[in-house]
Amino acid sequence: MRRELRWQEMIRKDDFFKETTLRICGSLQIATALADVFDYFKHQFPIIGMCLSIRDDDLGAIRRIALATDNQKEFPEEIVAVPKEIWAQIQAVPIREPLIITTEFNKPHSDLAVLLKLEDKADLILPLWIDANLCGILALRAGNKDQFTKRHLELLTSIRRPVTIALVNALAHERIKRTSELLAEDNRLLRKEFYLSAADEVIGQDGGMSNVMQMVKQVASLNNTVLLLGETGTGKELIANAIHFSSAYKDGPFIKVNCGAIPEHLVDSELFGHEKGAFTGAVTEKRGRFERANRGTIFLDEIGELPAQAQIRLLRVLQNREIERVGGQRAVPIDIRVIAATHRNLENMVQENRFREDLWFRLNVFPLIIPPLRQRKEDIPALAVHFINKKAKEMGIKNIPAIVPGALEQLMQYRWPGNVRELENMVERELIIQRDGLLTFASLAKTDALGITKPCPPDGFNIAAEPLPLNDVVVAHIERALKLTKGRISGPDGAAALLRVNPSTLRARMKKHGIRYGRVQ
């Protein structure tokens, strides 16, 4: 009888081993595999959940890799910090065989049970060893501390090897995935941020930008910090690009950072990187923008937006050419060229104690002032033609529209408060409206000398006359939009897009007001 029971137990254990192995090795996503195992284990063990964790010596903590449970609140946080004294005791007496841990267990494991939120529960622990290295722990949690038996220990022991292999594979997959993501991020940044088009020429090199380009040639071959000053939209980024590609760092990365676009609590980590465990959620180390710019150029746009703490760190970079990651204890040397830019008056900000004076002196070694477009109007015709060709290509317009006589004079008389960026937007808007006709830039007639758009009534209405019924104004406005788009309603160059409404909504309103519609041939 005993022999028969023993044989049945062996068959059961063998089936248990096969089924667990199939499930735990069924997916490289360890969380998915563990969830599959949990569905099976619920019929074999009195458990409310299970998790795979590793002992992270760098963090001095237990870090969870995967969790499978019906109630996550029954388990601690993803990272459980372990006090140094408890950590030292655990390392001195390593766990090699499966055991049941409760708050009543011997120290230091009873202290560990408290950290793991066991209370009146129990964890069945399976240590996962490869040779002399503890690579992780599988923990099964019971809702009552007296529910696990010797039979449960034996069953769990039988699956040590497949679970260990699955964890090692998952950790290797995690490292490869992380490395792949870093490489993909580097590649993306290199294509979209680091390298602006080297073919983009600075329009006006022989005109209003001649003095600036002369200064660019003087400083480009050196390693000095450059400060670009000028109004928004004057092309500071393009000048930074010209400096980089004319320097000894031209074969290195060109990192663009908009200091005003980074949340204040992320600035240090984003610029200087962080070490693993520097703060909650920092489970891996991260290189900052300065490290990514090593042997290249970093362009700090809107430098006046940097918070005080980041200004101190930047000062160290400029002084010593080294950075220290958040949570790090060692300096990381870097070889970079720093170009900063701002539309703010940094000197006034220093006097108002909103910008560090010592950083201002470090940055102001070679200031380069980019003139606004209203001070170099001779460049406007060349810029307009450049943007017409560029935007037409982007929009797929094969026959590039011509500019009507007199339109360029209109462009040169305008003050351009938004500078080159406003001119680019104006050209794009004109191409959308007049992609099959002549470019008149008629919208400039609705703008005063300061660049403020005037209210423009529909055609045929006199502003001085008494107010018209609202429906009449709506009808006239829709008809005017249809006239501009030659009867087209939908599409990027249709009346609906011009009026910023849904095409179905526009058709409904036209039907309501009795407006006929149809393409003008």
- 29-59 pLDDT, tens digit each: 888 888 999 999 988 898 989 988 887 766 6
CA distance 209 to 206: 7
Residue 252 resides in a domain:
yes
* β-bridge mates for residue 403, sequence order: 439
**Structure-derived torsion over alpha carbons of residues 433, 437, 440, 443, reported in degrees to the nearest 10:** -10
Judged against a pLDDT cut of 80, whether residue 427 lies above it is answered with yes
Judged against a pLDDT cut of 80, whether residue 198 lies above it is answered with no
Which of the listed residues 346, 371, 396 is the one where a domain comes to its end? 371
Q: What is the pLDDT of residue 302?
A: 93
Amino acid identity for residue 213 in this structure: M
Statement to judge: residues 13 and 158 lie in one domain: yes
Cα–Cα distances in angstroms (integers) from residue 190 to residues 202, 341, 471, in the given order: 21, 21, 54
Which of the listed residues 341, 371, 401 is the one where a domain comes to its end? 371
Q: What is the pLDDT of residue 284?
A: 73
Tell me the pLDDT tens digit for each residue of 42-101.
888 989 899 888 877 666 678 888 888 888 777 777 777 777 777 677 666 677 788 888
Statement to judge: residues 218 and 355 lie in one domain: yes
Q: What is the pLDDT of residue 193?
A: 46
Range of the structural domain that residue 52 is part of = 2-173
Q: What is the pLDDT of residue 461?
A: 45
Residue 166 resides in a domain:
yes
Tell me the pLDDT tens digit for each residue of 101-122.
887 776 766 777 777 778 788 8
CA distance 276 to 280: 10
Q: How many domains does the chain have?
A: 4
What is the pLDDT of the chain when averaged over all its residues?
80
Contact (Cβ atoms closer than 8 angstroms) between residue 380 and residue 412: yes
Q: What is the pLDDT of residue 229?
A: 95
CA distance 144 to 485: 74
Residue 346 resides in a domain:
yes
Tokens of 113: 């049970």
pTM over 0.85: no
Statement to judge: residues 6 and 148 lie in one domain: yes
Give me the helices (H) in 190-340, please: 210-220, 236-245, 267-272, 289-292, 308-320
Query: Distance of alpha carbon 261 from its chain centroid, rounded?
Result: 11
Judged against a pLDDT cut of 60, whether residue 147 lies above it is answered with yes
Tell me the CATH number at 441: 1.10.8.60
Judged against a pLDDT cut of 60, whether residue 463 lies above it is answered with no
Residue 504 resides in a domain:
yes
Statement to judge: residues 62 and 158 lie in one domain: yes
CA distance 139 to 134: 14
Residue 182 resides in a domain:
no
Number of neighbouring beta carbons within 10 Å of residue 493: 18
Statement to judge: residues 111 and 7 lie in one domain: yes
Tell me the pLDDT tens digit for each residue of 213-268.
999 999 998 889 999 999 999 999 999 999 998 898 888 899 999 998 888 888 88
CA angle 405/406/408 to nearest 5° reads 100
Judged against a pLDDT cut of 50, whether residue 297 lies above it is answered with yes
Query: Most distant CA pair in the chain: distance in Å?
Result: 111
pLDDT band at 189 (very low <50, low <70, confident <90, very high): low
Q: What is the pLDDT of residue 236?
A: 93
Q: What would the mean pLDDT of 417-435 be, rounded to a whole number? A: 89
At which residue do the structure tokens 């200064």 appear?
215
Q: What would the mean pLDDT of 196-214 be, rounded to a whole number? A: 72
**Structure-derived torsion over alpha carbons of residues 414, 417, 423, 426, reported in degrees to the nearest 10:** -80
Number of neighbouring beta carbons within 10 Å of residue 167: 25
Q: Who has greater pLDDT, 226 or 443?
A: 226
Tell me the pLDDT tens digit for each residue of 389-407.
888 888 888 888 888 878 8
Statement to judge: residues 420 and 465 lie in one domain: no
Q: What is the pLDDT of residue 445?
A: 62
Q: What is the pLDDT of residue 339?
A: 95
Statement to judge: residues 363 and 385 lie in one domain: no
Q: What would the mean pLDDT of 150-156 be, rounded to a whole number? A: 86
pLDDT band at 12 (very low <50, low <70, confident <90, very high): confident
